[in-house]
Amino acid sequence: MVKLDIEGIIDDFPTLNQDVNGHRLAYLDSAATTQRPIQVLDAMAKYNKISNGNPHRGAYQLSIRATEEYDFSRQRVKEFINAREVKEIIFTRNTTESLNLIANSYGMEFVKEGDEIVLSISEHHSNILPWQRVARQKGAVLKYMYLDDKGRITDEEMDRVIGSKTKIVAIAHMSNVLGTIHPIREIVERARRVGATVVVDGAQAVPHMKVDVRELDADFYVFSGHKMLGPMGIGVLYGKRKLLEDMPPYLLGGDMIEYVTEQDATFAPIPHKFEAGTQNVEGAVGLGAAIEYIEDIGLDSIRDHEMKLMEYTLDRLLDIPYVGIQGPKDLKSKGGIISFTIDGVHPHDVSTILDAYGVAIRSGHHCAQPLMKYMGLPATSRLSFYLYNTKEDVDQFIRAIKNVRKWLGYGA
Ligand code: C6P
């Protein structure tokens, strides 16, 4: 495993090497999207310069090369998450599309009246709205697992909500607001006992920690390329082969069929059954290159680096009396995300003032309005790390935070 060498890494990221508003850029919003290394940009440029073609369509070299590159990326994804077969990897546009596919195909086919769909209260809207529609149309019931005062789902809460009527449990591996790492193995164990299917939203987990879908034993696991150094517009849906084979297709059209007659059609085997229309081959190539980059560094090194930055940041933030931190503070049950509020200051003002100091963070409801309501907050500010962040970023952030209230006329 290559040792994480931060100095070398930063040179790989052109977007990070710039000044913003007269300050060096401290990019602390990787939970929203990550910056791309030149290795990923070059891989996509090379594909576009010499291999661009419509995959699976032509008998000529460009189409064959595009097919090979696309298949190679699928193989890389399979190995990255340790799926059993490449057929279990479906390319989508992003996490949102993957979740909509599962809800509209698996959910609409197999959820029946009176069934229960279990979510956590910290879900991103992408893992709530598709299930609301399934529940409405099928006469099923949505139930929520709530968080304790440390932002975690307890064993008692899982036992309270997952029961004999549970058909689906859909949950994020890591909360995009609080950074909580949810206990997927424990949830899967409970789901197995009652015969429920588990859908895991891995958008925030896959980029930052080793995910082994066989070890987790979840039925579906989804994520986005742009949150793991890849481009936007490419996402992944992993599903167990038997489930995918039993599901009806979601989008209908070219490249997902076997035979089409005037009145009917039969469908291609998985994964193609779920990949209608011309696919984002350039995106898949970029995702493959991003996986290679992450593997060169090593996910253990990435997690270790982020946890050191978390410790460094929490030590300093907890010392500031007017800063409140939401969610877990112990590093074991948390990823590199901190949600916080500043007394007397709206979170949007916090991020606008920080931008003036070159610090990029996100403020708002983070597409998790039910969680905000549960916490009794309209919004939070959030910083999130990735492998390219440094203590210098944190120092710049802390200096800027200490100026926020002064900007608004408070003494300190
Ligand atoms: N969260 C954030 O700033 P897409 O947009 O489809 O790539 O990802 C949606 C999504 C689903 N689940 C989780 C846990 C997520 O964090 C996100 C995206 C971004 O938190 C944008 S709202």
Show the 3-state SS of the chain.
Answer: CCCCCHHHHHHCCHHHCCEECCEECEECECCCCCCCCHHHHHHHHHHHHHCCCCCCCCCCHHHHHHHHHHHHHHHHHHHHHCCCCHHHEEEECCHHHHHHHHHHHHHHHHCCCCCEEEEECCCCHHHCHHHHHHHHHHCCEEEEECCCCCCCCCHHHHHHHCCCCEEEEEEECECCCCCEECCHHHHHHHHHHHCCEEEEECCCCCCCCCCCHHHHCCCEEEEEHHHCCCCCCCEEEEECHHHHHHCCCCCCCCCCEEEECCCCEEECCCCHHHCCCCCCHHHHHHHHHHHHHHHHHCHHHHHHHHHHHHHHHHHHHCCCCCEEEECCCCHHHECCEEEEEECCECHHHHHHHHHHCCEECEEECCCCHHHHHHHCCCCEEEEECCCCCCHHHHHHHHHHHHHHHHHCCCCC
Ligand 1 centroid – CA 33 distance (Å) = 9
Residues of the chain with pLDDT under 70: 1-7
| Atom 1 of ligand 1, residue of closest alpha carbon | 32
167 within 8 A of 198, measured Cβ to Cβ? no
| Atom 5 of ligand 1, residue of closest alpha carbon | 96
What is the predicted pLDDT for the residue at 6? 62
Which ligand 1 atom minimizes the distance to the CA of 176?
A: 16
Choosing from 33, 121, 176 the residue with most ligand 1 atoms within 8 A of its CB, the one to mutate for a pocket test is: 176
Ligand 1 centroid – CA 122 distance (Å) = 12
What is the predicted pLDDT for the residue at 412? 77
pLDDT, tens only, 65-82: 999 999 999 999 999 999
Ligand 1 centroid – CA 406 distance (Å) = 33
Ligand 1 centroid – CA 148 distance (Å) = 23
Give the orientation angle of helix 281-297 with respect to helix 299-317, to 10 degrees. Answer: 80
What is the predicted pLDDT for the residue at 7? 63
338 within 8 A of 179, measured Cβ to Cβ? yes
Catalytic residue numbers? 367
Which ligand 1 atom minimizes the distance to the CA of 126?
A: 11
Which ligand 1 atom minimizes the distance to the CA of 29?
A: 3
What is the predicted pLDDT for the residue at 322? 97
What is the predicted pLDDT for the residue at 4? 58
According to DSSP, the β-strands at 166-172 and 197-201 are parallel
Q: Within 6 Å (CB) of ligand 1, which residues are found?
A: 31-32, 94-96, 124, 126-127, 172, 176, 201, 203-204, 224, 362, 366-367
All structural domains of the chain: 6-30+298-407 (3.90.1150.10), 41-295 (3.40.640.10)
Q: Where does residue 370 rank: exposed (0-12), middle (13-18), buried (19+ CB within 10 A)?
A: middle
CA 357 to centroid of chain Cα atoms? 28
CA 34 to centroid of chain Cα atoms? 11
Ligand 1 centroid – CA 124 distance (Å) = 7
Label residues 16-33 b or e (16+ Cβ within 10 Å = b). Answer: beeeeeeeebbbbbbbeb
Which ligand 1 atom minimizes the distance to the CA of 224?
A: 7
| Atom 16 of ligand 1, residue of closest alpha carbon | 176
Ligand 1 centroid – CA 365 distance (Å) = 12
Choosing from 30, 96, 184 the residue with most ligand 1 atoms within 8 A of its CB, the one to mutate for a pocket test is: 96
| Atom 3 of ligand 1, residue of closest alpha carbon | 32
pLDDT, tens only, 230-289: 999 999 999 999 999 999 999 999 999 999 999 999 999 999 999 999 999 999 999 999
Choosing from 29, 92, 131, 204 the residue with most ligand 1 atoms within 8 A of its CB, the one to mutate for a pocket test is: 204
What is the predicted pLDDT for the residue at 155? 98
Q: How far apart are CA 334 and CA 147, in angstroms?
A: 14
Choosing from 28, 124, 206, 229 the residue with most ligand 1 atoms within 8 A of its CB, the one to mutate for a pocket test is: 124
Ligand 1 centroid – CA 261 distance (Å) = 40
Which ligand 1 atom minimizes the distance to the CA of 177?
A: 20
Ligand 1 centroid – CA 56 distance (Å) = 31
Which ligand 1 atom minimizes the distance to the CA of 94?
A: 6
